[in-house]
Amino acid sequence: DIQMTQSPSFLAASVGDRVTITCRASQGIANSLAWYQQKPGEAPKLLLSTASRLHSGVPYRFSGRGSGTDYTLTISSLQPEDFATYSCQQYYSTPWTFGQGTKVEIK
Amino acid sequence: EVHLLESGGGLVQPGASLRLSCAASGFTFSDYRMTWVRQAPGKGLEWVSTISGSGDTSYSADAVKARFTISRDNSKNTLYLQMNSLRPEDTAIYYCAKEEGIVGVVFDSWGQGNLVSVSS
């Protein structure tokens, strides 16, 4: 199974900050990586796929990059509605696996 | 607009069975793979099972393969998860999710979630 490890697990930031979350796969996943946002009591929402492809309706302040085993999600200017938990998911091979999540909290 | 509505969860004892349902609307159901994803309390997301649009192919995580069965009824636009021999570690919110449809098994629409609690 491909293990997905996110860092950090928790992040405290202020509105307007640039935030970067890292996701590392235990083997190469050829950009088969998605990012989700989840707020308490809600279902996850798709942000990006193919490592860098923004899903319809997602603000441009969200971006992704990476290759091989290492990927990042960046929020260029954190907004109040962005405080949430972010999870990566590889879809390169079954079982499809998720990172443990990164909780972005208000500083 | 895509809408996914889960039902069938609840509190059961270890060893019991439950069937979850997910009623879909707003898209051509049979065109998309559908998936169940679960989230234990305070934990991350865990893929459970995926079924093809036609229903003839399915994949399941090792943790549930021998106990859970995914199925679908395309005439009713409904996805199912039959869960047998439930264990306390199966306690989680179970989400049904629709495949994005272009890049692979990526989930662009999710149900609201349905809590399954397994406890004596």
CA distance A49 to chain B (A): 7
Q: Residue B104: its pLDDT value, please?
A: 83
CA distance B102 to chain A (A): 10
CA B62 from centre of chain: 15
Q: Residue B103: its pLDDT value, please?
A: 81
End-to-end CA distance of chain B: 40
* Token duo for residue A66: 């990476």
Q: Residue B2: its pLDDT value, please?
A: 96
- Return d(Cα A39, Cα A43) in angstroms, integer: 7
Flag whether residue B61 sits within 8 Å of chain A, measured between CB atoms. yes
Which positions in chain A touch B58 (Cβ < 8 Å)?
none
**Low pLDDT (below 70) residues in chain A:** none
Q: Which residue of B has its CA nearest to A50?
A: B103
Return the residue in B60, B99, B107 with the most chain A beta carbons within 10 A, the one to mutate for interface testing.
B107
Contact criterion met (CB < 8 Å) for A32 and B104: yes
Element containing residue B24 per DSSP (H, E):
strand B18-25
Q: Identify whether A8 is preceded by a cis peptide bond (ω within 30 of 0).
A: yes
pLDDT over 90 at B102, yes or no: no
- Reported as a single tens digit per residue, the pLDDT across B43-52 is 999 999 999 9
Q: Cβ distance B72 to B20 under 8 Å?
A: no
pLDDT over 90 at B101, yes or no: no
Q: Residue B43: its pLDDT value, please?
A: 95
Return the residue in B6, B33, B45 with the most chain A beta carbons within 10 A, the one to mutate for interface testing.
B45
* Token duo for residue A4: 């997905």
Flag whether residue B36 sits within 8 Å of chain A, measured between CB atoms. no
* Token duo for residue A47: 């942000």
- Reported as a single tens digit per residue, the pLDDT across B51-99 is 999 999 999 999 999 999 999 999 999 999 999 999 999 999 999 999 9
Which positions in chain B touch A45 (Cβ < 8 Å)?
110
pLDDT over 90 at B5, yes or no: yes
Write the secondary structure of chain A as one string of H (helix), E (strand) and C (coil): CCCEEEECCEEEECCCCCEEEEEEECCCCCCCEEEEEECCCCCCEEEEECCCEECCCCCCCEEEEEECCEEEEEECCCCHHHCCEEEEEECCCCCCEECCCEEEEEC
